[in-house]
Amino acid sequence: MTTTHSEAAPEKSEDTTQRVVLKGLPTRALSTDWSGDERDWLEGQCRIVAAMRRELTIAAGGYHTLCVLQRPHPHVLDDLAARLPQFQHIVSVHDGRTSTRLDQPVRDSRCMTTVTHPASWLLKQPTQGRMFLFFDPDAALSSRVPLSRLLKKQAQQSPCAYALISRGQQVSAFANALRDRGHALRWQESVLTSGQHWHLSLWRTTQPG
């Protein structure tokens, strides 16, 4: 079941199982190897990739790094790498508090993992040429760092984009903070996976680089 509130029509989705096979992932990953969170990705969260691809096309080579925050699952990272070959680097950042099995290596050599608090990591990062994919951003950032401080300089660096996968059917506090700091909403959609509602959105800077 998918409820759509889109500013731009998403790409037509093919069958989920067929899509995984086409991307070269092992068929065993379709059964017990995929955790509940990973299945949420395949069952609906992955629709955000279409919006990310459109942003990459618009920027015409302006992005070089994808930063994935709070989703360390190897299968999801491999799937992202396969769907988004345009990125030169893929960085996974998580705080280490996960029940996911991380002993399975990510196959794509562009991927690297950093275990630290996402908010602390973000404060030290340049943003130009980076796209940030956040899973449950409000929970990931919590109140450790004020959002206004976190985004103070980022709205002035372009191209920079935030792809958000938030719990619930409404925009997250982080999305509201992005809007207040001058980021533009490019796309949004709501999906339902295994009884959980998710709000997907993509934001990008409006200032010249």
* Domains, the chain: 2-9+36-162+170-205 (3.40.50.150)
How far is Cα 35 from Cα 32, in angstroms, rounded to an integer? 7
CA 40 to each of CA 95, 129, 147: distance values in angstroms, whole numbers, following the listed order: 20, 28, 27
Highest mean pLDDT among 166-170, 185-189, 204-208: 185-189
| pLDDT at residue 189 in the model | 96
Read off the pLDDT of each residue in 157-173 and give the average, rounded to a whole number.
88
Task: Verify cis geometry, omega within 30 degrees of 0, for the bond prior to 74.
Answer: no
Whole-angstrom distance, CA of residue 146 vs CA of residue 191: 28
Residue 26 has pLDDT above 70, yes or no: no
**Considering only CA atoms, which of 93, 73, 89 is closest in space to residue 81?**
89
pLDDT at 71: 75
> Where residue 104 falls among pLDDT bands split at 50, 70, 90?
low
When pLDDT is cut at 50, 70 and 90, the band that residue 191 belongs to is very high
pTM above 0.85, yes or no: no
Segment 125-140 shows an average pLDDT of: 88
